[in-house]
Amino acid sequence: MSTQTPTPAPVATVKRARGRRRRLDSSLIVGIALLAVIFIGAILVASVGRNFFSAGNIRDILTGMSVLGFVAIGQTLVILCASLDLSVPYVISLSSLIAADIMAGNPANVPAAVLTVIAVAVGIGLVNGLIVTKLKVNGFIATLGTGLIIKGYLDSNYKGTSGEVPWSFQLIGASGIGPIPISTVLMLAVAVLGAFFLARTRTGNHMFAVGGNEQVARLSGIRTARPIIVAHVLCSVTAAFAGLLLASRLGVGSPTVGVQGGYDLLSIAAVVLGGTLLMGGRGSIWGTIGGVAIFAVVDNVMSVMQVNPFLKDVVRGVVIVAAVAVYTSRQLDRRRPRFGPGSAASAPPGTTQTEHAEEAKA
């Protein structure tokens, strides 16, 4: 009785299948999900006699993306380094207050206010980064502590809104180019810079390496502290941009505007929804922007349909859990079995170990 050995698949067939899997990356999944959400949202909005694609509705969606987009861009950099930043809502509130107080309704004070806000944000981010890298405190705890310190300062010194933003600065949050708000244009410009930073700079590439495996990165000669510190500094700066934008919209500074928006957890959710691994090492700025857009569309549709505000959080939670479940299942599919069909032992001739490693990384 003879046994038949399974015939290995041709190398070309394996490479084509591998190429199809690579093309379906996280950013593409986010794009498909965004189109699906827009399609379903357009139907739901039409059912109540409204036009989803009207200029006013598009402007509302883009406006809703701006503030969360700023915060999520910085949060993406931190999460790529396998850390977190929970101090962002307090940085937002502090930034709005500093800006409004320094501006005091005088347009001539705008440059000094903006520079001061950025300097303070750099200082907060530097403290977060140094605590994480030098004191070896988990980013979750370190930034939570920093946020509570800022919260204590805000609660002790501010009992309500403060300062006054001049009209010239308020135009940033109130004007637009057609249906596209200026704030969205600025947010997308920061996203372009963030994507360029990750793709074209050494520190950006090191963020992926440190987030993927810090010990391996260190043994490879990478100074692992620098990317983490830079990520926290940039995260605080983007949160400060969000604070400036909110001050522009409100016309005053507010000690609670960051916490009320829930930007800490929402930004993390948008980053995860955009396909960035919460454990670090893999992700993209544009995937995060896609996640922010999905949240903005979902919120807009529920607002148009006058859905109970408490139900919005339920829907957000369902979207986040579904997204993470999809990404987790894809990760499980990519784990090649050790034995049997599809295992390394049954790999066709000509398939090198390097190709196996690349497939696992894709």
How does pLDDT run across 243-282, given as a tens digit for each residue?
999 999 999 999 999 998 889 888 998 998 888 888 888 8
| pLDDT reported for residue 230 | 96
224: helix, coil or strand? coil
Query: Rounded CA gap, 95 and 116, in Å?
Result: 9
- Provide the CA 346 distance to its chain's centre, in angstroms: 40
Whether 237 has a pLDDT exceeding 70, the answer reads yes
Which DSSP helix (H) or strand (E) runs through 225?
helix 225-250
Plot region of 347 (φ>0 → left; ψ -120 to 50 → alpha; else → beta): beta
Is the dihedral angle over the CA atoms 183, 188, 189, 195 positive or is it negative?
positive
Whether 332 has a pLDDT exceeding 70, the answer reads no
Contacts of residue 339, Cβ cutoff 8 Å, sequence gap at least 6: 345
Query: Rounded CA gap, 330 and 345, in Å?
Result: 22
C-alpha gyration radius of the chain: 23
Query: Rounded CA gap, 20 and 5, in Å?
Result: 27
Report whether 108 contacts 115 (CB < 8 A).
no
The CB density around residue 40, as the number of other CB atoms within 10 Å, is: 13
Which contacts (CB < 8 Å, 24+ apart) does range 285-288 have? 285/73, 285/76, 285/191, 285/194, 285/195, 285/198, 286/27, 286/191, 286/195, 287/26, 287/27, 287/30, 288/72, 288/73, 288/75, 288/76
Amino acid at 225: A
Q: pLDDT band for 235, please (50, 70, 90 cuts).
A: very high
Tracing tokens 């969205």 back to the chain, one arrives at 184
Contacts of residue 355, Cβ cutoff 8 Å, sequence gap at least 6: 18
Q: Residue 256, exposed/middle/buried by CB under 10 A (0-12, 13-18, 19+)? A: middle
| pLDDT reported for residue 31 | 85
- Provide the CA 34 distance to its chain's centre, in angstroms: 15
Taking residues 68-74, what's their average pLDDT?
A: 95
DSSP-derived letter for residue 335 is S
Amino acid at 141: I
| pLDDT reported for residue 324 | 74
E-assigned strands of the chain?
Answer: 176-177, 180-181
Domains of the chain listed by start with CATH number: 27-40+48-332 (1.10.3470)
Query: Rounded CA gap, 64 and 58, in Å?
Result: 10
Query: Rounded CA gap, 237 and 357, in Å?
Result: 36
Query: Rounded CA gap, 243 and 27, in Å?
Result: 28
**The pTM is what?**
0.83
Query: Rounded CA gap, 16 and 345, in Å?
Result: 20
253: helix, coil or strand? strand
Taking residues 214-232, what's their average pLDDT?
A: 92
| pLDDT reported for residue 330 | 60
Higher pLDDT, 116 or 3: 116
